[in-house]
Amino acid sequence: MKKIIKIMLVLCVSMMWAMSTYATEGEMVYEYGDEGIVNESVELSVPVTAGKDYSVTVEFTGVTDAASKINLGYDMVINDQMVPNVDGSNDRSGLIDETVVVGTVESRTFSVAATSDTLTIKANGSGKITKITVKPLEIKKEDKTVIFTIGDSLVQTYTDYYAPQTGWGQTLQDYFDVNKVVVANHALGGRSSGSFMREGRLNQVLINVKPGDFVLVEFGHNDASKDKVDRYTSVEDYKLYLKEQYIIPIEQRGGIPVLVTLCNRNDYNQSTGQFNVSFERYVVAMREVAEETGTLLVDLNARTVKEFTELNNKYGIGITEEIIFNHADAGEYDGAYADGVADNTHLQKYGAKLVGGFVAEGLCELDIDVLKDAYVASAVSGDKPSTPSNLQALSKIRTLRKIGWDECKGADFYQIYVAEVVDGKTGEYELVGLATTNSYVYGKADAKATYKFKVVAVNGAGESKESEELLYEPVGGKKNKVNEETTATMENTDEGGLNAYVIIGIVAAIVVVVGVIAGVVVKKKKKLQTGR
C-alpha cells in the first residue's frame, strides 16, 4: 500500500510541471514549457519502477540566439570525464557541455537502471529541456551465470602494455568453467565507491544483471584518498553507498551482491614480516555492512594479510616484492614499465593469479551450488612445470647480475639457488630469491667469487626437477660443458660493451705503435679490470 501511495504522489507531482504527458507502445513522453528552462540548475523527475531498466531520451534547446552550454545527469550519475579505458576506447558517462542555441533541438539517449521509483534528470547551465521520453529497455543478457566484478585498479583487466601489472579480476575466469560461469570484469583504476557510481559505471553493470548473477563489489583503496576530491569517500558515505546504491539495486534485479574486502598493500613489519592491515577503517566498514545487511562477504583482506605474511616467513622478508607486487627491473618488460617499477599497491601476474584464487575459493566457501559446480582449482591442479633448461649468464661482467633460462611450461614462478665454489669445492646451495619471469638479477655476487646456480620451476601442483647447474667464473676461462655444467666466463660482455679479448687486443696495438715511434719496448704487466 505504501508503495502504491508513493507512486501516486510521484505521478501527481509530475503532472504539476508537465505541459503534457502521453504514452506510446510502452513509452512515456513528458513535454515541458517554462518548467523545463535551465537557468543555473533544474531537476525534473519522472516515475519509473525500481529494479527496471529504461532507455531515456532528453531533448533540449537554447533560450537565446547566442550559443550556451547545458550539462545533463541523472540520479547519482553526474560526472563525465571522457576517461580512456585500458582497451584504448573512451567511456562517456554523463552529458556534459552540450552546445545549444534557440531554434535548434538536440537529443541525447542513454540507458538507465532505475534504483528507485523516481528518475530525476538533472541539468545546469543555460538552456531548456523540452521533452523527456522514457521507454522500457530490453537488453540481451548472457544465458550463463555471470560474475560481475566492480572495483578499482587491483581488480581491473590490463593489456600487455602494462605488464607485469595484472588485476585479480582478469584471472578470476581461470577458476571457473567458462561453459558454466562467465566473469565480466568492469573494474577500473582510480575509482572509489563514489566515483564508480557517479561516472555511470555501476549503472552499466546493473542494466546487464539478471536474476541469479553475482556482483562482486571491491572498493576502499581510492575511497581513502583525501587529497583527491573526485575519489574520496568518507567511511560513513562508504557504508551508505554500499547499502543503498550497490546492495539494494543489485538485489532489485535478482542479482546476488558479494562484498569483497580490499587486497592488502605490500606493507609489513620489516623485522617480523607480519603484514599490516591496509585502510583498516574501510575494511572494517565493509565487514560491518555485510553483517548489518546479511550480504555475502569474501574477506580478501584477511586472507591476503595471512598468506603474504606466510610468504615472508617461508621465503624471507621482502619476497612479496619479487613475486606478488608490481616490481620489475629496467629492461625486464617493454611498455609502461620499461624503465622498471617498484609499486607496493598493484599486483604482478603471479600475485593476481594467487589473489584471484583466494577470491574464487572464498566464493566457493559461501556454499553456493552453481559456483561450486563450476569451480576449477587451476592453481592447485594439473601437472608440475617442466624443468628449467639452457641456463646462461645474461649480464656478462665480472660481478654477475643477471642469469636467464628457457621459459618453463606451466610455471607460476621460479626458485633460484646459489652455491659458492671455493678451491673447486661446491658449498651448500641457498635459496636466494624467486622470479616470475625466466630471468633473475643476483645483486649480491662477490666480484672475485665463483658460483654455481640452479633453478626450480613452481606451480600449484608442485616443483619441477632441478635444472642443470650454471658455473660462473668471474675471470678467465672459456665457455664449455664440463660434467653437464655450463661455464660462463668473461669472454661474454654486456650489451653494447667490449669483451675482454677485444680490450686486450686494443691495448696490445697501442703498445706496438708506441714502441715503433719511440724505438723503445716497454714491458708492463697489466691487470685487466672491467665492471658496470
Q: Is 428 a catalytic residue?
A: no
| CA 313/CA 273 separation, integer angstroms | 7
218, 322, 332, 468: the catalytic one is 332
> What is the distance of C-alpha 531 from the center of its chain?
39
Catalytic, out of 93, 116, 126, 153:
153
346 is catalytic: yes
Maximum distance among all Cα pairs of the chain, rounded to whole angstroms: 116
Amino acid at 30: Y
Residues 6+ apart with CB under 8 A from 101: 61, 62, 64, 65, 66, 67, 68
Closest CA to 210 of 184, 192, 173, 171: 184
List of residues 6+ apart from 203 with CB closer than 8 A: 77, 111, 112, 113, 197
| Phi, psi (rounded to 5 degrees) for 371 | -80, -40
**Beta strand spans in 163-265 (E):** 181-185, 214-217, 256-260
* Helix axes of 300-315 and 349-364: crossing angle, nearest 10 degrees: 130
Check if the beta carbon of residue 438 is closer than 8 Å to that of residue 406.
Answer: yes
Burial (CB count <10 Å: 0-12, 13-18, 19+), residue 180: middle
Per annotation, catalytic residue among 126, 346, 395, 469: 346
Residue 317: partners with Cβ closer than 8 Å, 6 or more residues away: 268, 270, 271, 272, 273
Active site residue 439: no
Residues with catalytic function: 153, 332, 346
